Amino acid sequence: EPDLIGADDFSKRHLLFINDSLTQLDRDLRKLGSRLLIRRGNAVDVLNRLRIETGYHCIRAHQETTNALSYQRDRAVKKWARSAGIDFIEYRQQGVVRAMTSRDGWARQWQGFVTSPLVGRPRQIIDGGAGLTELGVHSPESFALKDDGLINRQTGGESEALKVLNSFLSDRSREYLQGLSSPLTAWDSCSRLSPYLTYGNISIRTVYQLVTQRKRELQRQRGQRDPWSQSLSNYVERLAWRCHFIQKLEDEPAIEFDNMNPEFNGLREDEFNPAHFEAWAAGRTGYPLIDACMRALQQTGWINFRMRAMLISFASYHLWLHWRQPALHLARLFTDYEPGIHYSQIQMQAGTTGISALRIYSPIKQVIDQDPEGKFIRRWVPELMQVPDDFIAEPHRMPEPIQQRSGCIIDRDYPAPIVDHFSAYRAAQKRMRAANLSAKASGVSSRVFQRHGSRRHRSR
């Protein structure tokens, strides 16, 4: 769909992953006697042409909670189907519940969905599209998508998804809890299933049930308190959180564009600094871990959750940027971009929900906690390769002789910090505390919680 592919939140890396996925799906369908028909154009126009060519009378699709363009497309397709007398049937693919007015009881519904039986693989699929024109996948160049710097990418497709899941369950999940926070260890310790879940290469029910099965095996073999099975329990909680955040966009699509809590309107909008945004987006802020994470994202399409939170925290608090433009930049970089998670998390980290604790990540402390020897930083910011460990978090503090010896002259080879950490931190903290007090006093925050807040206990 050219409208979706040309949108501000779409990039070449997304289409490459989608093409991988479609290519394997077509290959698998052909083994069952069918095939995948790919057409290009406006959804209503294409579906109408297919109706004329085949005379079909029913469309079956999956429910999705995604960006505003896709939502408008879905509404247009449903309206057209009704006018054409065509049945339009949707199937759930997530633990997301439509038409909820309160989160009470959500966890119970989620649990019921992820534990429901999986659909079996068919022995054969009848090819109802004989004689229809096949166009195949479309290259990024055919949509004029720019090269986005991706070098080492994940490959899409169901077989890749299963391979990644199997390696996680058989070995990598052993260190999940210990390794998920550091950018040094998260590449292997995290499941890396996120793009496969985003694009439907594997279902959340499949993942949940296989992870639960593996956890029970480990508990039988190693005991209930075994750290490995506890890691998998934590991962299952993350699967629930995944749907929890997508549910927020389902319930309130406007959070793609507007502050979740309107009491925060006007907080940052009029103070956007384009130079600060460009430095952040390019990985040239003068804060090594911020820059390393941004450059890693540019080249790989992935970084772990804590580092994602740190990136948006830095943009929102230290640089005082309204979240919308940083959100679009990160959406284009994340291969696993899932709008429901994306905008919910962006707003949570930017502090515009009014129902979450204020978290301002220190880009200096995060180096000490997550990359004290600077291994990750040096990999992605080679200008700092020879900088001593004592200065790796704050290279601008190097005396001039050490700058000379390390081959890193500040403001020549690597930028000085674009803002002072401590003054920016204090200013942001002061402004956010005042804004939060105002939001709570108005009663808006309690209404936001009723609609979007987590109910910790699954029985509720």
Intervals of the chain under pLDDT 70: 441, 445-446, 448, 450-460
Return residue ranges of the chain for CATH 1.10.579.10.
Answer: 255-452
- In the block, tokens 């940052």 appear at 268
Write the CATH number of the domain with boundaries 158-247: 1.25.40.80
Separation of alpha carbons 229 and 114, rounded Å: 19
- What is the pLDDT, as a whole number, of residue 458? 40
Q: Which CATH superfamily, name and number, covers 2-91?
A: HUPs (3.40.50.620)
pLDDT on residue 451: 62
Can you list the positions of beta strands (E) in 57-172? 58-62, 87-91
pLDDT at 53: 92
* 255-452 CATH choice from 1.10.3720.10, 1.10.579.10, 1.10.10.60, 3.40.50.180: 1.10.579.10
Q: How far is CA 305 from CA 55, 173, 179, 312, 384, in A?
A: 47, 16, 11, 11, 24
Separation of alpha carbons 220 and 224, rounded Å:
8
Secondary structure tally for the chain: helices H, strands E: 21, 2
CA-based nearest residue to 24, from 199, 144, 205: 199
Task: Please identify which residue in the block is written with the tokens 């299952």.
Answer: 236
Question: Which among 456, 449, 458 is positioned nearest to 107, based on CA atoms?
Answer: 458
* Radius of gyration (C-alpha) of the chain in whole angstroms: 24
Q: Around Cβ 131, how many Cβ atoms within 10 Å?
A: 6
Query: Which of 371, 382, 372, 366 is CA-nearest to residue 313?
Result: 366
Q: Give the C-alpha separation, 29 to 121, whole Å.
A: 11
Distance, CA of 21 to CA of 178 (rounded, Å):
31
Specify the pLDDT at position 459: 35
Please report the pLDDT score of residue 445 as a whole number: 65
Q: Cβ neighbours of residue 164 under 8 Å, at least 6 residues apart? A: 191, 192, 193, 196
CATH 1.25.40.80 location in the chain? 158-247
For the record, the structure tokens of 177 come out as 């809890």
- Location of each CATH 3.40.50.620 domain in the chain: 2-91
pTM metric for this prediction = 0.94
Q: What local confidence, expressed as pLDDT, does residue 455 receive?
A: 52
